[in-house]
């Protein structure tokens, strides 16, 4: 394979790649190897160009459509009348361990039945996107285990592009994993988003299925009650237990909105308080008075052996996310990151 034109820097934007490469730089393929490696059923590779762009060897594939027809989105009729064609380039998964761009003709058809012009819908890339769906999914999944900066450097993208891809995919997955069905054990706990700022956010979990259901901007009683109100009636009725720590607003919200559910508080406090009572410390005595008010909820543990262990373990993982990102200034970004990694879209976060 011949190494073609040298370009001073790697072209991050697929749209710019269209302008900086000519069809004269492409060479005809001699077999189906690149088509098989590409793995897109509706395309086949006709030509290729391998270029040195900055410090990268970049593979450009000129592709053609297998079908000469498209389905009209308005009336559902098959159209073969190509009205307009335009050169389009998108970023795709690496081929031969090289950053890969796909070049093809974006086609507009004219429907014979309804006489409307429409743009062909492609299964491997969404309209107006500059990356294939498969590539966007790889970026999204990489962000779940690393920082956006690291992903941007590895993939040769700008940080803003990585952020946009992640937020978009996370929002789609969030919609696909809307809260519903059966929630037997509801876990409620808070985590500090910023050190020394007392900015607490509320993390709500399904302990039975080991996943996060929601991330709320504060730990106020009204905020929690509002979230419970959004649950479908059958989902609310399925909640049998609510696992919390000794924070009164959680208890009050559970009692107001889920009066049939048993409230459970971590059982280990019971043992600790027995030891604390023997110290004679006046500050501990004040705490013990509070503890006695929660004794019933602590003893509820022994009915079903429910603990908030999963909730505490998840909070540790969330603290790791916060550290890895050097903190979050935007709650919405943090919420998307958490739900992307720990929501019901992922059946088991561990």
Query: Residues in the chain, how many?
Result: 350
Nearest-angstrom CA–CA distance, 320 and 322: 5
Please count the structural domains in the chain. 3
What distance in Å separates the CA atoms of residue 285 and residue 288, rounded to the nearest whole number? 5
CA distance 20 to 278: 79
Of 176, 210, 235, the one marking the end of a domain is 176
Tokens of 119: 């743009």
Same domain membership, residue 199 and residue 100: no
| Residue where one domain finishes, among candidates 127, 161, 192 | 127
146 plus 92 within the same structural domain: no
pTM: 0.66
- Please indicate, yes or no, if residue 147 is contained in any of the structural domains: yes
Distance of CA 101 to the CA centre of its chain: 25
Alpha-carbon gap, residue 348 to 341, rounded angstroms: 10
Alpha carbon 303 to chain centroid, angstroms: 36
Strands (DSSP E) contained in the chain are: 6-7, 27-28, 43-53, 56-65, 70-71, 78-79, 82-95, 98-110, 117-119, 185-194, 199-206, 211-216, 241-244, 262-265
| 1 in a structural domain | no
What's residue 272's pLDDT? 64
**Alpha-carbon distances, residue 132 vs 10, 128, 183, 199 (angstroms):** 19, 11, 36, 38
CA distance 243 to 245: 7
Residue 278 lies in a domain: yes
- Report if residue 348 sits inside a domain: no
Same domain, 169 and 192: no
Per-residue pLDDT, 349:
38
The answer to whether residues 206 and 154 belong to one domain is no
Q: What totals of helices (H) and strands (E) does the chain contain, helices first?
A: 14, 14
pLDDT in tens, the chain (350 residues): 444 555 666 766 666 666 677 778 899 999 999 999 998 999 999 999 998 888 888 999 999 999 999 989 888 899 999 999 999 999 999 998 999 999 999 999 999 999 999 999 999 999 889 999 999 999 998 988 888 899 999 999 999 999 999 988 887 766 555 566 788 889 998 888 776 667 788 999 888 888 888 889 898 999 999 999 989 889 999 998 888 887 889 989 999 999 999 888 765 555 566 677 777 777 777 777 766 666 665 656 556 666 667 777 787 888 888 887 777 777 888 888 888 777 754 444 33
Structural domain containing residue 29: 6-127
Tell me, yes or no, whether 85 lies in a domain. yes
In this structure, the answer to whether residues 103 and 12 fall within a common structural domain is: yes
Domain match, 154 and 271 both: no
Query: Which CATH number belongs to the domain containing residue 239 in this structure?
Result: 3.30.420
Q: Is residue 347 in a domain?
A: no
Torsion of CA 252, 257, 258, 260, to 10 degrees: 90
CA pair distance 120, 51, nearest whole angstrom: 30
Tell me: do 24 and 103 sit in the same domain. Answer: yes
Q: What is the 3-state secondary structure (H, E, C) of 215-284?
A: EECCCCHHHHHHHHHHCCHHHHHHCCEEEECCCHHHHHHHHHHCCCCEEEECCHHHHHHHHHHCCCCHHH
Same domain, 152 and 189: no
Q: Are residues 152 and 226 in the same domain?
A: no
Distance CA 265, CA 188 (A): 10
* pLDDT, position 350: 38
Q: Is 41 a member of any domain?
A: yes
Residue 22 sits in the same domain as residue 90: yes
Nearest-angstrom CA–CA distance, 142 and 152: 10
Domain boundary among 111, 127, 143: 127
Q: Does 208 share its domain with 311?
A: yes
Q: Are residues 330 and 294 in the same domain?
A: yes
pLDDT at 83: 94
Measured between alpha carbons, how far apart are the two ends of the chain, in Å? 45
C-alpha to C-alpha distance for 302 and 299, rounded to whole angstroms: 6
């Amino acid at each position: 394979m011949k190494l073609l034109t040298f370009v001073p820097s790697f072209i991050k934007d697929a749209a710019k790649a269209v302008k900086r490469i000519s069809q004269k730089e492409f060479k005809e393929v001699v077999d189906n190897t690149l088509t098989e490696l590409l793995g897109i059923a509706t395309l086949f590779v006709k030509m290729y160009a391998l270029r040195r762009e900055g410090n990268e060897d970049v593979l450009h594939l000129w592709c053609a459509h297998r079908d000469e027809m498209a389905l009209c989105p308005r009336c559902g009729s098959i159209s073969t009348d190509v009205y307009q064609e335009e050169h389009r380039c998108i970023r795709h998964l690496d081929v031969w361990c090289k950053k890969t761009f796909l070049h093809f003709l974006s086609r507009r058809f004219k429907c014979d039945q309804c006489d409307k012009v429409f743009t062909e819908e492609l299964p491997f890339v969404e309209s107006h996107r500059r990356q294939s769906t498969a590539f966007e999914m790889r970026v999204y999944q990489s962000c779940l285990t690393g920082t956006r900066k690291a992903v941007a450097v590895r993939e040769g993208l700008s940080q803003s592009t990585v952020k946009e891809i992640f937020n978009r995919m996370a929002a789609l997955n969030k919609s696909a994993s809307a809260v519903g069905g059966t929630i037997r054990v509801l876990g409620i706990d808070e985590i500090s988003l910023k050190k020394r700022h007392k900015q607490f956010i509320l993390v709500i979990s399904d302990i039975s299925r080991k996943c996060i259901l929601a991330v709320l901007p504060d730990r106020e009683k009204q905020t929690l009650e509002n979230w419970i109100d959004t649950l479908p009636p059958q989902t609310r009725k399925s909640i049998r237990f609510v696992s919390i720590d000794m924070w009164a607003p959680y208890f009050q919200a559970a009692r107001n909105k889920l009066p049939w559910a048993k409230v459970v508080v971590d059982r280990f406090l019971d043992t600790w308080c027995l030891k604390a009572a023997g110290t004679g410390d006046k500050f501990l005595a004040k705490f013990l008075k509070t503890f006695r008010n929660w004794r019933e909820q602590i003893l509820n543990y022994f009915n079903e052996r429910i603990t908030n262990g999963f909730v505490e373990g998840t909070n540790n993982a969330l603290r790791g996310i916060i550290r890895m990102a050097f903190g979050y200034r935007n709650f919405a970004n943090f919420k998307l990151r958490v739900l992307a990694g720990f929501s019901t879209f992922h059946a088991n976060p561990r």
